[in-house]
Structure 1
Amino acid sequence: MKRPSRRLLLLALAALCFLSPLLGLALALQTEPRLPELHSRLGPAELARGRQLLRQLDPRRLPADSVSELRLREADLNTLLAQSGQRAQLQLRRDGARLQASLPWKLGPWPVWLNLELELDSPSWVGGAVWPQPRRLRIGRLPLPPGLSLRLARSVVERRFGTAPWAAVEMVEAVRLDEAAVWLRWRWQPQQAAAALAGLWPQAEQEALRAQHRRWQALVGQLQPPRPSVELAQLLPELAREALARVEGGQAAAAELRALWLQLALRSVGRDPGRLIGDPDTRPSPGLRLAGREDMAQHFLISAWLAAQGAGQLGDALGLAKELSDTQRGGSGFSFNDLAADRAGERIGRLGGRRPLELLRLLAQQPQETAFFPKVADLPEFLSRQRLQQDYGGVDGPGYRALMTEIERRIDALAVHRGLSGGAP
């Protein structure tokens, strides 16, 4: 029997080397996501849990080098994944966890999906350089060596954020998984946290906020006489023009718009954004008003900023939960005009997320409050829980839904929404 020639063997080997990556891609990439869109509705109970976690994570009350423990339930983690818009789900087990995720990918002009399944082992507390270890990794129909998963994850994170996240990760001293929760033991290191924050916050957005901050200081310096608060419409067009000038100089419109919302949201609650960039105010700065009220500006601007970060549903839930809590004894009562301000802010924030340059242009040209904020003075407020139930059927009643439909109609009629197609929710 004639042996295959060396040339034929080399050709076969070359073909195998060429076809193997293609075969791997064919097995890994799929045309449909394995997981559906996971929407988790945040109610008062979930928000109360979120506030509890934030208090546990808030390091400002901790001395440097102090050690704390945090328990994250499976439901907490999956709610965070759903609210961040990820098609991902975590299942905890006594000795580990199973993570499933469907990640969108672009293969030239074709949208495809990476359907990932990762199993982790974590039999007990592990710490130091040891983390829960990968047991099995599969992407689509392609099984991969488990040890490759951590290298892939590190590569993806560093491509998106650089090495900054590892400064925060290094504060975690130990991890444990069980069937109910993930337990973290972490040591508060202010310098490492500052390094992580500085690295995670893109330089372009820091520069955008610095430009907004300086323009604010110049505008406020022109106010004579100085005043405790100023109407948002008096300053918003000028700040939008500052952002537009930077966009014309080559900066990204989305980053400039996010910096504008961040500054205004902080100003509305009396916070100095200059502290974030090492340039604090040297003199008192005024608050902001909408419809003649500071609370309207707070609702509108915080919701706009949240929505610009992709957290619009969270902003809606926070607003509703706040109004429900106000119906309790000692609260100010349920307010439809607060909800209208929340919704107007959430809508304009999402609109800017889709079309930042066009929105900046409209804001720069619209000096009137009625261009971006609906009429709210006639909406009911100071409602007790009993009155809300009696007159509107509660937050799911026909009266409540009818009034919220009217609020949406008023927002749709605003110039910034009429001026941009696709502004509907």
Structure 2
Amino acid sequence: MRFTLRLLLFFLLILPFACVLLIWLALSSKPAVPESANLSHLDIARAEAILRQNNPRYLVPGTLHSITINQQDLSLAANYLLHRTGHGGARIDITENAMQVESSIKLPAIPIPTYLNVWLAVEESEGQPEITKLKLGSLTVPTFMANLIVHELLTSTKQTREYQLAHSVIQQFNLQPDRLNMTYQWRPDQLGELSRHFISGADSTILLAYHAHLMALQSTGTAMSGSAANMMKPMFKFAQARSIMGDPIAENRALLLVLGAWASGHGMSTLVPTEIRHPWRFSLTLEQRIDFAQHFLTSAAIAAGADISLSNAVGVYKEVSDSKGGSGFSFTDIAADRAGTRFGELATASPENARRVQKLLSEGVQEKVIIPRVGDLPESMPENVFKQRFGDVGSAIYLSQMAVIEKRIADCKLYKGN
């Protein structure tokens, strides 16, 4: 009995020190992989090419299809995911039947910078992944324990909608040098449900409330024409009232998603799977141009519901594409995009900023408060004209023109000091 008590006392004393030691070994003050999650217009082009090659409109439901993703795009996706969920960086290296993933995750709510550096080795085993090595900082996790942890995580989420849908679509994957091959079964019913489930964290009930308010405004002749700034006054007054008992960030996000879906012409069917009446065709303006209002509200929705870097990259990519046969490269459109991105970012940055935007917009503002003068910027340039004047995206003269745009946006009343 005395021996048992001594043994129990020993473990009670040694266990806290052991835990501290394990944490010290697992954490680091420096990231093994620096954060890098900025999407360029070239990244968007690569993503569009992959989607075009696997366009579901041309796939027969129930049939098997394959997709190949190189390690550069996988690293980009991993970095983007880490950027969305926190702060961190990732690097992926794929060889024959094996993949090595190295990532660094900045831990929140800690006064000094603290990172969890993860090194993971995965091998292909009969078309399924198998963990062969896991390191957390300088701490090596036994293989059986690493697989047990992953198994328990998957088991605990097996009943969630995300896991069920992903598991039913992706059938097999295999690793080749520099690339990952996946075989999937096209199931439009479940993929549609999956996309709706992931709609930017905005609750369908909140989205429907703002859609209903927009329809109510139109029934009285409001939000039909004129300045988009005027239309946002009653919309944000509605958000301000709902935020008294709710989350102002969630309210602003839902409001902007609804306006963005309307402005882009996609409608509420992209947000909520329900039969509802659609608003009148978008015809609001900024600087008396419908396209400026469309750019502004669409970018605001992307920034509020997805990510700022994605909003920026989509805007530049569209202009590059237009220069090759569309309406031409326009800095006017990019300026409207950037102002919208800044608006969406600020409106959902924090509860304080969300309420400040609600208060200012619900009182009514002039256009110059939210978007600077943009009509005098170069626009409608074909590819050859753009290259003659500005070279490539990222050139010194291009960046100089972008700096002018950013300065104008920063001088707007809403964004000053933020």
User: What residue is the counterpart of 1:189 in the other structure?
Assistant: 187
Structure 2: where are the runs of 5+ without partners?
none
User: What residue is the counterpart of 2:7 in the other structure?
Assistant: 9
1:271-350 alignment, distance < 5 Å: 271-273=266-268, 276-282=271-277, 285-287=280-282, 288-309=284-305, 311-328=307-324, 330-350=325-345
Q: Distance in 1 between matches of 2:389 and 2:68?
A: 42
Q: Distance in 1 between matches of 2:299 and 2:322?
A: 18
Deviations 1:4-29 (A, max 9, x none): 95543332233234433332222212
The question of whether the paired residues in 1 share the 8 Å contact of 2:329 and 2:381 is answered with yes
The aligned amino acid for 2:321 is S
Residues 1:114 and 1:400: Cα distance change in structure 2 (over 3 Å): closer
**3-state secondary structure, aligned to 2:206:** helix
Structure 1 stretch 407-416 or stretch 34-43: which is displaced more?
A: 34-43
User: Is 1:139 paired with 2:141?
Assistant: no
Structure 1 stretch 408-417 or stretch 192-201: which is displaced more?
A: 192-201
The aligned amino acid for 1:120 is V
User: What residue is the counterpart of 1:239 in the other structure?
Assistant: 235
User: What residue is the counterpart of 1:263 in the other structure?
Assistant: 258
User: What residue is the counterpart of 2:104 in the other structure?
Assistant: 102
Shift of 1:58: 4.2
The question of whether the paired residues in 1 share the 8 Å contact of 2:267 and 2:278 is answered with no
Q: Which of 27, 48, 53 lines up with 2:25 in the alignment?
A: 27
Deviations 1:140-162 (A, max 9, x none): 12221334445545777899998
Q: Distance in 2 between matches of 1:298 and 1:154?
A: 46
Q: Distance in 2 between matches of 1:246 and 1:161?
A: 35
The aligned amino acid for 2:309 is Q
Residues 1:14 and 1:272: Cα distance change in structure 2 (over 3 Å): same
Q: Distance in 1 between matches of 2:389 and 2:256?
A: 36
Shift of 1:115: 0.8
Residues 1:241 and 1:398: Cα distance change in structure 2 (over 3 Å): same
**3-state secondary structure, aligned to 2:25:** helix
The question of whether the paired residues in 1 share the 8 Å contact of 2:328 and 2:379 is answered with yes
Structure 1 stretch 290-299 or stretch 18-27: which is displaced more?
A: 18-27
The question of whether the paired residues in 2 share the 8 Å contact of 1:166 and 1:196 is answered with no
The aligned amino acid for 2:296 is F
**3-state secondary structure, aligned to 1:217:** helix
Residues 1:87 and 1:215: Cα distance change in structure 2 (over 3 Å): same
Deviations 1:58-77 (A, max 9, x none): 43443432211111110111
The question of whether the paired residues in 1 share the 8 Å contact of 2:93 and 2:178 is answered with no
Shift of 1:365: 2.3
What is the number of equivalent residue pairs in this alignment? 407
Shift of 1:323: 2.0
**3-state secondary structure, aligned to 2:119:** strand
User: What residue is the counterpart of 1:78 in the other structure?
Assistant: 75
The aligned amino acid for 2:132 is R
The aligned amino acid for 1:62 is L
The question of whether the paired residues in 2 share the 8 Å contact of 1:289 and 1:297 is answered with yes
**3-state secondary structure, aligned to 1:248:** coil
Aligned-residue sequence identity (percent) comes to 28
1:163-242 alignment, distance < 5 Å: 163-170=160-167, 171-197=169-195, 199-201=197-199, 205-223=203-221, 229-242=225-238
Considering only aligned residues, what root-mean-square deviation do their CA atoms show, in Å? 3.0
Deviations 1:233-255 (A, max 9, x none): 23212111222222112x22222
Residues 1:283 and 1:159: Cα distance change in structure 2 (over 3 Å): same
What TM-score do you get using the length of structure 2 for normalisation?
A: 0.86
Structure 1 stretch 253-262 or stretch 193-202: which is displaced more?
A: 193-202
Residues 1:147 and 1:351: Cα distance change in structure 2 (over 3 Å): farther
The question of whether the paired residues in 2 share the 8 Å contact of 1:83 and 1:311 is answered with no
User: Is 1:47 paired with 2:24?
Assistant: no
Q: Which of 374, 377, 383 lines up with 2:375 in the alignment?
A: 377
User: What residue is the counterpart of 1:87 in the other structure?
Assistant: 89
Residues 1:274 and 1:174: Cα distance change in structure 2 (over 3 Å): closer
What TM-score do you get using the length of structure 1 for normalisation?
A: 0.85
